Amino acid sequence: MNEHDERLTAGRDSTHQESGGDHADSGPRQEDGAQVSTGSETAGAPEAIPELVIISGMSGAGRSTAAKCLEDLGWFVVDNLPPALIPTMVELGARSQGNVARIAVVVDVRGRRFFDNLRESLADLDTRGVTRRIVFLESSDDALVRRFESVRRPHPLQGDGRIVDGIDAERELLRELRGDADLVIDTSSLNVHELRAKMDAQFAGEEEPELRATVMSFGFKYGLPVDADLVADMRFLPNPHWVPELSAFTGVNEEVAAYVFNQPGAKEFLDRYAELLRLVAAGYRREGKRYVTIAIGCTGGKHRSVAMSEKLAARLAAEGVETVVVHRDMGRE
């Protein structure tokens, strides 16, 4: 199966599950749910507040895949829980004598009549001191339309209109939640395995780091990354594409990287941007934000942005920030 087929498969799998199809993981969730005990079994036992992850985002963007990944990592997963019941779910987990230490809740527009309660529920959790994170799954309109059309299912909000009408309505409904998200993942060009790898990278660790960073190179001619928190432009540097002996290589090549960093302003930018990121990272930590995506762009995402991303990621890692490097557009030309 080629990459294009895998991406279409990702769309079919995630959209089918999120549009009301049979959930392959509903059985294990119910079995896990039976383990949540109340009443006399928990009497007198200390209550440990579970860690909470809220998974939301666009229909068809891969929420079910992300939820399944967390379930495989040992999280107790509840799909399509009305937001008003999230504090109750956390309370049940706290009374489970440690059996439910990590809870993931999928919240989406299928429960739209309860969606207005989400803000109130989040405020309630904050007053209780619950450690909670929001993961938002994003995707382009084109990718979402292809996924819905491939399974011949309507968008939950399209009504008598078109699929794009439902997508527009959902984006507007979720706009504020997306802004509050701790982690935004754009699945437009991801297949199932790549999405699972991103989730594993964020949640599979034994210990929770203070801050995790994704440094992503990209090409402006392919569009801005929608999940970027910070964007920097390397087009102020001369382009190695116009150097015949360097054009065929990429920014991970030593000769290309040397050419880039021998240009006026390159080393100074790296030093000052790293200093700026230290300031930003300190603020993110104070605000409880654990994930940041730093996008470094050039024209085609092949030379300058790649070289700078590699150096910047190494600098962050040396300063104790857990860092992943992604070269989004390298190899597209």
Residue ranges for the binding site? 57-64, 108-111
Q: Residue 6: what residue type?
A: E
SS3 label, residue 174? helix
Q: Which helix (H) or strand (E) holds 118?
A: helix 118-127
Per the structure block, which two tokens stand in for 257?
A: 């990287």
Tell me how far apart the alpha carbons of residues 331 and 333 are, in angstroms, rounded to a whole number.
Answer: 6
- Annotated binding residues for GTP, as ranges? 108-111
Which of 264, 81, 234, 110 is CA-nearest to residue 174?
110
As a three-state string, the secondary structure of 246-294 is HHCCCCCCHHHHHHHHCCCCHHHHHHHHHHHHHHHHHHHHHCCCCEEEE
Q: How far apart are CA 296 and CA 288, in angstroms?
A: 24
Do residues 134 and 54 touch, judged by C-beta distance below 8 A? yes
- Tokens 């059309």, residue located: 149
Q: At what angle do helices 141-151 and 163-180 cross, to 10 degrees?
A: 130
Comparing CA positions, the residue from 153, 199, 194 lying closest to residue 60 is 153
Cite the annotated binding site for ATP by residue number.
57-64
Q: 168 CB contacts (<8 Å, ≥6 apart)?
A: none
Buried b or exposed e, range 112-142, using 16+ CB within 10 angstroms:
eebbebbeebbeebeeeebebbbbbbbbbee
- Enumerate the H helices of the chain as residue ranges: 3-18, 26-33, 63-72, 86-94, 118-127, 141-151, 163-180, 192-203, 244-247, 254-261, 266-286, 304-318
Tokens read off for 81: 């829980």
